[in-house]
Amino acid sequence: MNILVLGSGGREHAFSWKIAQSDHCEKLFIAPGNAGTASAGTNVDLQVNDFEGIKDFVVKEQIDLVVVGPEDPLVNGIRDFFEAQSELTKVLLIGPGKDGAQLEGSKDFSKRFMERHGIPTARSRTFTVESLDEGLNYVSSHPTPIVLKADGLAAGKGVIISETPEHARETLKEMLVDAKFGDASSRVVIEQFLAGIELSVFVLTDGSNYKVLPEAKDYKRIGENDTGLNTGGMGAVSPVPFADEDFLRKVDERVIQPTVNGLKKDGIDYKGFLFIGLMNMGGDPYVIEYNVRMGDPETQVVLPRIDSDFLALLEAAAKGTLDQASYTTSPETATTVVMVSGGYPEAYEKGNVISGIETASESLVFHAGTKTGEPGQILTSGGRVLAITGKGSSVAKALENSYNGVEKISWSDEYHRGDIGQDILKLLN
Ligand code: AMP
Ligand code: GLY
């Protein structure tokens, strides 16, 4: 098969690294890709929302399967676009249409979906500028902490946890009246704070059948011990020891089955990944959010734990034959540590020369924000630059392999967290 992966992050490098290992992979392209994806396939200078450009390329290169990495083109309707083009009707695509992508594109839609299908989640109400006064009263009559969420996509920044009613009221006004997140906060979901341990479960579905992929825990804050600003993710660990068989069975019965069945009942033909952010509250799962794609950097620990042909699984999902597919998982632990540019998630430098990648042989080096420079040079070109994945028979051994890799790689303003996985090690002791 000829495959096109859309995106340019560590997730897309992990996808292309895994897909390239398949015997069924003939040509592999990544658009726009990064310096790492260039070693798994061929980078193409096309942006993920340039649907016309993507169409021309798909036709010219006889692409059989398109794997959409980020949420943006899904929310913008890339599947709907493909389905409307007579030249593209035979092309397989991983990712839901505009309707299914609302699970990530609108928090209000996803809350209503969960309510409709009896999926456990925090109690919530949605407010607009017209119902501002009601929203302010709602905040005052509910205990803090309380969670305020911009309805639309806000680059991971649209969730604010307020510790006091005053702060919550101020925040609600900023979001609805001052358009703090632009159009994304013209509707605000206010919900109950859920206390517990977070983890993420990944599902690949063809709309009727599904496979549960390895679960993962990520580390969102920039600072050690989960302090400071939120980021796209600073590290991840899979498997998650507190997600035991009993808990994962509850997730399957109470969350995954009603979600897949709910999509079907609502007439949404969903072919793609579902990333379910969960809170484990006293052994019971509650959904925090849905994403309609894989996570980054979670993909960099999930895919290294899949032993079988991942492309075969993707093909089955896109064709609607996942019931006939099977896959095997490695019992090993995988951990990843994200190396970022100093200053991230705020302003940072680009263009610094990275050294030592080739010497980090005990780990898998996934590129996120990199580009090629002079011959033989790799330069930083984003906030999250590399994700260094280690594997091992225990969390400690996997972390050792990740951090040994991290120690060998450097550039002038590099930063990473030194405590990825430490909370899990403590839980295990
Ligand atoms: P989201 O974008 O919905 O994933 O929210 C970002 C982060 O905010 C989550 O990963 C949680 O850490 C936190 N969060 C969101 N909703 C809640 C909630 N209801 N209770 C506690 N924490 C939450
Ligand atoms: N690591 C979180 C995400 O991909 O949204």
For 64-111, write each residue's pLDDT tens digit.
999 999 999 999 999 999 999 999 999 999 999 999 999 999 999 999
Instruction: Measure the CA–CA gap between 183 and 152, rounded to whole angstroms.
Output: 7
- Taking the model in full, what pTM does it have? 0.95
Taking the centre of ligand 1 as the mean of its atom positions, its distance from the CA of residue 195, in whole angstroms, is 10
Tokens of 43: 């980078």
For the chain, the maximum distance between any two Cα atoms, rounded to a whole number of angstroms, is: 63
- The pLDDT, as a whole number, for residue 350 is 97
Q: Is the pLDDT of residue 20 over 80?
A: yes
Q: Do residues 261 and 252 touch, judged by C-beta distance below 8 A?
A: no
Which fold does the domain 197-324 belong to in CATH? Answer: D-amino Acid Aminotransferase; Chain A, domain 1 (3.30.470)
* Average pLDDT for the chain: 96
Q: Is the pLDDT of residue 177 over 90?
A: no
Task: Looking at the CA of 14, name the nearest ligand.
Answer: 2
Average pLDDT over residues 194-200: 93
Ligand 2 nearest-atom number relative to CA 11: 4
Query: What's the DSSP call for residue 319?
Result: H
Average pLDDT over residues 15-24: 97
Indicate the top mutation candidate among 103, 199, 298, 417 to test ligand 2's pocket, ranked by most ligand atoms within 8 A of CB: 298
- Label residue 267 by pLDDT band (50, 70, 90): very high
Q: Do residues 201 and 256 touch, judged by C-beta distance below 8 A?
A: yes
- Label residue 192 by pLDDT band (50, 70, 90): very high
Query: What's the DSSP call for residue 368?
Result: S
Indicate the top mutation candidate among 8, 74, 218 to test ligand 2's pocket, ranked by most ligand atoms within 8 A of CB: 218
- The pLDDT, as a whole number, for residue 41 is 98
Taking the centre of ligand 2 as the mean of its atom positions, its distance from the CA of residue 233, in whole angstroms, is 6
Sign of CA dihedral 102, 104, 108, 112: positive
Q: Do residues 199 and 218 touch, judged by C-beta distance below 8 A?
A: no
Ligand 2 nearest-atom number relative to CA 297: 1
Strands (E), 129-220: 146-150, 159-162, 187-192, 197-205, 210-218
- The pLDDT, as a whole number, for residue 333 is 98
- The pLDDT, as a whole number, for residue 118 is 97
The two domains 123-192 and 333-428 share their CATH topology (first three levels equal): no
| CATH (residue range 333-428) | 3.90.600.10
Q: Is the pLDDT of residue 346 over 80?
A: yes
Instruction: Specify the residue with its C-alpha closest to ligand 1, atom 1.
Output: 289
| CATH (residue range 123-192) | 3.30.1490.20
Which fold does the domain 2-88 belong to in CATH? Answer: Rossmann fold (3.40.50)
Instruction: Measure the CA–CA gap between 227 and 121, rounded to whole angstroms.
Output: 25
Instruction: Name which of 218, 187, 201 is nearest 110 in CA terms.
Output: 187
Ligand 1 nearest-atom number relative to CA 291: 4
Integer-rounded Cα Rg, in Å, for the chain is: 21
Share of the chain above pLDDT 90, in %: 93
Least confident segment among 29-38, 47-56, 206-215, 223-232: 223-232
Strands (E), 90-134: 92-94, 124-128
Tokens of 41: 């396939």
Tokens of 292: 């309609």
Q: Output the CA angle 211-217-219, nearest 5 degrees.
A: 145
Instruction: Measure the CA–CA gap between 228 and 232, rounded to whole angstroms.
Output: 13
Q: Is the pLDDT of residue 155 over 80?
A: no
Instruction: Measure the CA–CA gap between 21 and 310, rounded to whole angstroms.
Output: 9
Q: Is the pLDDT of residue 156 over 80?
A: no
For 28-69, write each residue's pLDDT tens digit.
999 999 999 999 999 999 999 999 999 999 999 999 999 999
- The pLDDT, as a whole number, for residue 242 is 87
Indicate the top mutation candidate among 219, 291, 384 to test ligand 2's pocket, ranked by most ligand atoms within 8 A of CB: 291
Q: Show me where the domains of the chain are located.
A: 2-88, 123-192, 197-324, 333-428
